[in-house]
Amino acid sequence: MNWSEKRICVTGGAGFLGTHLIQDLRARGANEIFVPTIEEYDLVDPTAIARLLADSNPDVIIHLAAHVGGIGANREHPAEFFYDNLMMGVQLMHQAYLRGVEKFVAIGTVCAYPKFTPVPFNEDDLWDGYPEETNAPYGLAKKMLLVQSQAYREQYGFNSIFLLPVNLYGPGDNFNPRSSHVIPALIRKCMEAQDQNADQIVVWGDGSPTREFIYVTDAARGIALATECYNESLPVNLGSGFEISIKDLAEKIARMTGFEGDLVWDTSKPNGQPRRALNTSRAKEKFGFTAQTDFDEGLQQTIDWYRANRK
């Protein structure tokens, strides 16, 4: 793909992952990048999608936009997370096909995997069970884009791909306590506890689940590489290959932020999926992607960014 000759629309391009992706695309030579905002284009509304496509006239759409959050937000808003994500993605892909867009890149979620998927998660296991209950509506809404991608390629020859990034982290992450994921939530709790001279923080669950995380610039590079080089509808994991328990993660963040108090585990709160770690061999095979950022290094950069920007 010659990026300099393509008009690219990145939904969610003003968000956490989107800003890093746009930097990566510009470094590859992309000049015409259209970034719709939710204030101007509500992608749940099909008329807004039609207006977006008319205004941007894209050759390539990278669909990052999503209504997302951590376990708490998923429990509070399951219907919104299902409806908004399903309607945004399905209608956007359909109208992109009708308009003759050259390529559609759909970003899924690791939440689409069944609750008890064998570790490491293999893309062929996506349909072997129901997702973990707390984020199943969101995960299933996103997984419908895989079904649509494969169906539209089979019937219409439409070039769409479906990527499954694991949990992201990095500078610019969402640190809102009502909607953030575990890494920014723990960083904020530890720093606020120090500000208030508190001797403890409360952490959800019992600490036993494991998670894999990918640094945001690695994820952006993986999406750019797939957009450039991958043209099949087989789903592809984007991960780092590094798995850590929530207990070890919380202790690491406390140590790296300088919080010396106690971690109190609230076992009345859900653990979420028992384990999450991805098989990333397909990404390497299909478009040469492997993550490069050491977890401790990425975590330190995330902590430093929040410390510098939180006020």
- Does some domain include residue 279? yes
Domain containing residue 34? 3-172+212-242+274-293
Q: Could you tell me if 152 and 160 are in contact, meaning their C-beta atoms sit under 8 angstroms apart?
A: yes
- Does some domain include residue 206? no
CA-angle at 21, arms to 246 and 283, nearest 5°: 65
Model pLDDT, residue 168 = 95
- Does some domain include residue 181? no
- Does some domain include residue 261? no
Other beta carbons less than 10 A from residue 36's beta carbon: 23
How many domains are contained in the chain?
A: 1
Find the CATH number of the domain harbouring 81. 3.40.50.720
- Does some domain include residue 234? yes
Model pLDDT, residue 9 = 98
- Does some domain include residue 21? yes
Q: Which residue has the tokens 């069944």?
A: 114
- Does some domain include residue 198? no
Model pLDDT, residue 139 = 94
Q: Which of 41, 138, 230, 306 is catalytic?
A: 138
Residue 156 bears catalytic tag: no
Model pLDDT, residue 178 = 80
Instruction: Say what the pTM is.
Output: 0.94
Q: Which residues of the chain have pLDDT under 50?
A: none
Model pLDDT, residue 286 = 98
